[in-house]
């Protein structure tokens, strides 16, 4: 089974930084798109950033220039570096993965949560 485990959340002052990690295990597919989503109380889950195995990266407008998604394939880990954090960034952050077996994910649809097969349990970020 594929498992995604997030870590790195916490409490930070406005303007501060955090780095989230998502460690994947049991993943045997040759392709993927990994995404970071967040959900605040009373709000819908929204896409924050996504990255394909080839390195193509995508960002929500609200985080462009502040957040950076990256990957370390040797460690099966995806990171989300979050700088200049704002109170409105407070949310539960989830890591998601899709094998691309059934669809193609890219610039126009990476941020639709329904496109992802696998999800982590989430890590809380409070600013």
pLDDT for 5-43, tens place per residue? 999 999 999 999 999 999 999 887 778 899 999 999 999
Half-sphere exposure of 24 (CA within 13 A, CB side): 26
Q: Of 20-24, 26-30, 76-80, 115-119, which range is least confident?
A: 26-30
Residue 1 pLDDT class (50, 70, 90 cuts):
confident
> Hey, what are 41's tokens?
């109380």
Separation between Cα atoms, residue 72 and residue 99, nearest integer Å: 17
Query: In the chain, what is the straight-line distance between the N-terminal and C-terminal CA atoms, in Å?
Result: 34
């Amino acid at each position: 089974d594929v498992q995604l485990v997030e870590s790195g959340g916490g409490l930070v002052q406005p303007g501060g930084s955090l780095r989230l990690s998502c460690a994947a295990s049991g993943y045997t597919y040759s392709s993927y798109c990994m995404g970071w989503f967040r959900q605040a109380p009373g709000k819908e889950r929204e896409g924050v950033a996504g990255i394909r195995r080839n390195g193509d990266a995508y960002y929500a407008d609200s985080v462009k220039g502040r957040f950076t998604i990256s990957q370390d394939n040797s460690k099966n880990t995806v990171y989300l570096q979050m700088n200049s954090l704002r109170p409105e960034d407070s949310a539960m952050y989830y890591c998601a993965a899709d094998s691309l077996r059934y669809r193609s994910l890219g610039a126009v649809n990476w941020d639709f949560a329904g496109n992802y097969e696998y999800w982590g349990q989430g890590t809380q970020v409070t600013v």
